[in-house]
Each structure stands twice: as structure tokens, then as C-alpha cells.
Amino acid sequence: MLANVVALSYAHDLTLAATDHNKRLRERGPLYHSSSNLLRRDGADCVSPDPANTLTDRMNIALNSSGDGFVLSLCQNTQYLIQSPIYFAAPNQEISTVGYPSGEERAILVVNGPVFNGSGHTTAVDGTCPNCNGVKLRNIQINGTRGGASPTNGGANIEMGGANSGQLIEYVHSFDPRSWSCLHIAEGSLNCNNVIVQNNDIGPCGSDVFQEWADGISVSCRSAIVRNNMIKNPTDGGIVLFGSPGTLVENNTIWILNNTLLGGINMVDVLPFGGDYSGVVVQNNTIIGGLATDSDSDEQSKGENIDDVIIKIGIAIGPHTWFGDEFGANRSSSGIVRDNILTGAFGYGMAITSATNFTVENNTLVGNTSFIGSRGPNCSTTDVTPIPAPFVIDPVNVTSSTIQNNFQDIPDGNGLTCILPPDGGDYWPYGGNPSSPSPSSSTATSSNGLSGGAKAGLAIGIILAVLAIAALTYYIRRWALRKQALRAANGRAGSHPISHYYLSLTVFPHAWIIISHPFDRNCPHGRFPSATLSSRSERRYLLHLVSYDLPRLIVVMDG
């Protein structure tokens, strides 16, 4: 099907600045160092990773000696093997990759310090100093290098928060932590506030081997914002809220690949805020459980998963769901959980016990789902483990709350994470994990994809679109050649400057019309009007383009 919107964009193939910069890099070589022992590459003030034996000290000295607002810039496509944490030291400091890339070119801080007898180096960046208001961690990667080993006692890959306000963590890829979390926002003396965690790609985190788990994002901070994060393959909690009154958690995507996850979003911890979730809003998040990994079939909605993975609880509310009666009569209180969607295989989609004054509404299942699992060896012999189900609630322990009406009552909601997934079998729904996770996207696909008829219709639509484009190509080329000949006959066929621009029109998903043309210097450089076009205005723009003597039209299929 042709796209309803034709997007017009104008861009230079290479800007002059980028051309000159890349030329200088080629001339000097990839290991060029400036006169400063902290700088690397011409035109870019970024820390050199060499010599490695002084790297950690040089980075910490730079932060300690530079004061408020200092930016510690790391080089693109560079690994930094650090032997101990890098510590923010003053307000509004920043650690980032030069140029702020958001892909694999981001610099990587590699946790590489010693470990002995279960303890050692676990944290790459620490922003919890008493004077760390407003510090920023942006556009870098953190490799915790657990590498399948048992957990190391210590902090998370990233430790932020503390007695501070206004911190920012964005476009950070944190993965494979040696210890218990990929990213931790600490409470300080319960005075951490207003930290923003956004647009990060987190995970994998930990192992689903018993007590070797790790969280994706762990938040213990008032009025934090956790949004637009992609959290892949965590094993303890995808997002864990340790109370954190006033915090907003929205538009995050959590999914698993080859490890079972205990909880997608957890609101179960009594400490350190006494179970106070007042003002906490968890909304518009997508949680994707285990999916079938064998071949899809039009006749089947479920198949096998090679690793037998599930999310045990999609969203868990109340300490009893997690800890049984360890915290006695304590309750999670006063949170709002709404408009979240779940798909895939779970033990329980949502589970509520030991909660008061909660609002839970409009949370839904989408696509293909299954609810599977049975009692495991760590289940209490005195508790009754409920049969897996989409939405379960222990009404005896939930008071003064507004709960959507499709929850199923259970007599006992203690320690629900003790269940185990089936050992094989066709129990997992077909579906799709986010194929190209990026901080700016958050999607879940239905289990069976396009039907055969839809695929055929799409193929026919693409063929017709290509034929139409080919015809358009033919007629525009004929017109251009005739006009060129006419100009030559009239002595007006002057030469054009060699500065090239490219015009791209999105005509349907994964296809582009690329028009290459040597524009006159009088043509506005660098930009062409962009607009959302109706069919009439689209024709008007095409006529305007033709007036620039387009010499050729090239159709390129992408994907």
C-alpha cells in the first residue's frame, strides 16, 4: 500500500565540514593524539584510552579538577578499560561521547578492575557525590563484563542519584553488569529527586540461574521520570520501583530473549520508603513475555521456546507477591497503574496482593498470550500457588483500591515468583520482539504477523507502485532530454556547478525515489521545503522539481 504521506527532505551528500574532518582523520591515522595527554583526534577534545594504566586516574583527575559544568568527552568507536569507578565531582558535569551518537559508535566504558573472592570492581560511573546536582550521563555504553560468571558483590553498572536533584541519564546502553543492576538511582537520605532516565537501551542484565539475577533499571528516588527506555533480557526486575513517591514510568518496552524474568515492573519493595508509592504513575508501558522460537504456522497460535522462558509476573504490586510474609502487614500504597499492555508468555500478567489505595485500570492483553507455569522447588510448602492467569488479586490483602473488573480472586498471593515455566511443549505464543530496539521506539507485534492474504496484497501493492514509478521515471527522463536538447539548440545549455544534492521521497514503506541533480548555485542550498502533502500539493511539488531540469530518476528498493 502506498504511504498516505509523502515526505520531502533535502540533504547534502556530505557537508563540507564533515568532508574536511574525515580527510584530516585519514591523513593523521586512527591513533592520532593531540599534544594534550587527555585528548585524541584533531578537532575533537576526547579522552585518549592510552596509556591504559593511567586511564582511570586521568579521567577522575579531569572531573575533580575542572569544576561545575565540565564535560568529559569520550571518543567515538573507542573502548575504555577502567580499573575502578569514574566519579562525578561537581554540579552539572557531563560524561558523554563526542558528537552525541546513539548507536554502536558510542564510546564504551568497560568494567575491568579486579575481582577477588566474590567482591571487587562492579561500577563504571558513580554520580552519587554530595555535590552532584544536575550531572549528566549521555550517549555512552557501559559493559559490565560479567561474562557468565556468578555475581560480584558491589554496586550497579551505573550508580546515580544520592542526595541530589536534576540528574539526567539518556541514550546510554548499559549491559552485562557484574552485580545486581544495569542502572541504579539511589535514594540518598530519601532526598534524591527529579532524576530523568530516558531513551536508554538497557540489557541484557544478569542470568536466570537462581540468585544470579539483575535488574534493568532500579529506581529509589522521589519524582523521577523513567520513559522511552528499551529494556532487553533483564532477569530480576525490568523496572523496579523502591517506592519512589511521585515518579512517572511511561512508554518503556521490556522484553525477554533467552532468560526467564521474575518481574516486568515491580512495585513490591517496602524499603526504603516504607512501601509509599503515592503519586507514582506507571502507564503506557509494553511488556513482552516469552515467545515461540520454532517455525511459525498459519494453523497454530503457539509453539515451543528453545529456552523455556517466561516473565513470571508482568506487573507485580505488593510485597507479598515477591517476599511472601517476610514483611508482615506492610503494604504497597497509593500508586496508579494504567494503560499498560502485555503480550507473550507469562506466569501471571498482573498480580496484586498486600496493597492499599491503588488504582489499577485499563491494562490489557494484546496479540497472542499464554499463562503457564507450575510450582517450583522454592515454593513454600504452606502457601497455595495459584494457577497461572492474566490478572490475579488476593482480595483479603487489597483494600481501598480501584481495580479493573477482569481480575481473578485468588486465596493466596504469597511468593508468586517461585513458579517455573514448562519444560518444553507448544505453550508459547508466536510473536515478535522489537527487531531493532532503539531508545526512540517502543513496539510490540501481534503473534501471527500478516495473514497470507495481507502478504499477497502487500506484494501486489509494491509491484504496482514500482510499475508506476518506472512509468514516471520514463516520462520525466523524456521530458528532461527534450528540454536539454531545446536549450542546446537555443544556445542556452550552460553548464551547472558540480555541487550535488539528493532529494528523497518516501512513497511506501522500504522504498524510495532518489532524484540526483546538479543544482544551480541560485537554488537554495542545503534545504528544500519539507511538508506533509495532500495529493494536489504533491503534484505541485513534483512540477516544481521538474522545473529544475531533473536529468534522471532512480528507484531504489530498501528492504
What pLDDT, in 10s, does the model give residues 359-396?
Answer: 999 999 999 999 999 999 999 888 889 999 999 999 99
Q: What phi and psi, each to the nearest 5 degrees, are found at residue 313?
A: -135, 120
**CA gap 329, 333 in Å, rounded:** 12
Helical (H) or strand (E) element with 60 = helix 55-66
**Strand pairing partners for 90?**
none
Pick from 63-67, 210-214, 471-475: least confident: 471-475
Q: How confident is the model at residue 316 (pLDDT cuts 50, 70, 90)?
A: very high
H-run or E-run covering 263:
strand 261-267
Residues 351, 323 contacting (CB under 8 angstroms): no
Average of per-residue pLDDT across 240-254: 99
Give the pLDDT confidence score for residue 470 in this predicted structure: 57
Q: Counting Cβ atoms within 10 Å, is residue 116 exposed (0-12), middle (13-18) or buried (19+)?
A: exposed
Beta-bridge mates of residue 342: 287, 365
The pLDDT of residue 477 is 60
Residue 381, CB-side half-sphere exposure with 13 Å CA sphere: 0
Distance CA 275, CA 244 (A): 9
Report residue 467's pLDDT band, with 50, 70 and 90 as the boundaries. Answer: low
Give pLDDT, residue 510.
36
pLDDT at 474 over 80: no
Q: What is the pLDDT of residues 13-52, one digit of tens each?
A: 323 333 333 333 334 333 333 334 454 544 458 999 999 9
Determine the pLDDT at residue 483. Answer: 54
Q: Can you tell me the distance from the alpha carbon of 433 to that of 447, in angstroms, rounded to the nearest whole number?
A: 10
Whole-number pLDDT of residue 130 = 96
Q: Is the pLDDT of residue 516 over 50?
A: no
Confidence of residue 329 (pLDDT cuts 50, 70, 90): confident
SS (H, E, C) 387-456: CCEEEEECHHHEECCEECCCCEECCCCCCHHHCECCCCCCCEECCECCCCCCCCCCCCECCCCCCHHHHH
**Which among 458, 324, 443 has a CA at the least distance from the CA of 383?**
324
Q: How far apart are CA 167 and CA 184, in angstroms?
A: 13
Cβ burial, residue 363 (10 Å; 0-12/13-18/19+):
buried
Name which residue leads in pLDDT, 147 or 457: 147
Least confident range from 216-230, 233-247, 405-419, 521-535: namely: 521-535
- Bigger pLDDT: 102 vs 439: 102
340, 326 Cβ separation under 8 angstroms? no
pLDDT at 301 over 90: no
Of 247, 249, 242, 245, the residue nearest 286 (C-alpha): 249
The cell numbers describing 345, all together, are 508468555
Contact 393, 413 (CB under 8 A): yes
Which pairs from 535-540 meet CB under 8 Å and 24+ separation? 538/6
Give 458's DSSP letter: H
DSSP lists the bridge partners of residue 355 as: 332, 398
Whether the predicted pLDDT of 94 surpasses 50: yes
Q: What percent of the chain has pLDDT over 90?
A: 65
Q: Quickly state the pLDDT bin for 475 (edges 50, 70, 90).
A: low
What is the per-residue pLDDT for 465?
Answer: 59
User: DSSP secondary-structure letter at 223?
Assistant: T
Residue range 119-143, pLDDT digits in tens: 999 999 999 999 999 999 999 999 9
pLDDT averaged over every residue in the chain: 79
Contact by Cβ (8 Å): 98, 73: yes
3-class DSSP state of 18: helix
| Rounded Cα–Cα distance for residues 384 and 382 (Å) | 7
The 10 Å Cβ neighbour count of residue 83 is 14
Q: What does the pLDDT read at residue 297?
A: 67
Mean pLDDT along residues 93-105: 98
The model's confidence at residue 110, banded by pLDDT at 50, 70 and 90, is: very high
- What residue ranges do the domains of the chain occupy? 242-449, 452-557
Q: What is the 3-state secondary structure (H, E, C) of 292-347?
A: CCCCCCCCCCEECCCCCCCEEEEEEECHHHHHCCCCCCCCEECCEEECCEEEEEEE
Q: How far is CA 284 from the centre of its chain?
A: 15
| Percent of all residues in the chain with a pLDDT value above 70, rounded to a whole number | 69
> Does residue 350 or residue 516 have the better pLDDT?
350
Nearest Cα residue to 260 out of 372, 426, 393: 372
Give the type of residue at 194.
Answer: N
Within 8 A by CB and 6+ apart from 137, the residues are 94, 95, 96, 125, 127, 158, 160, 167, 168, 169, 170, 172
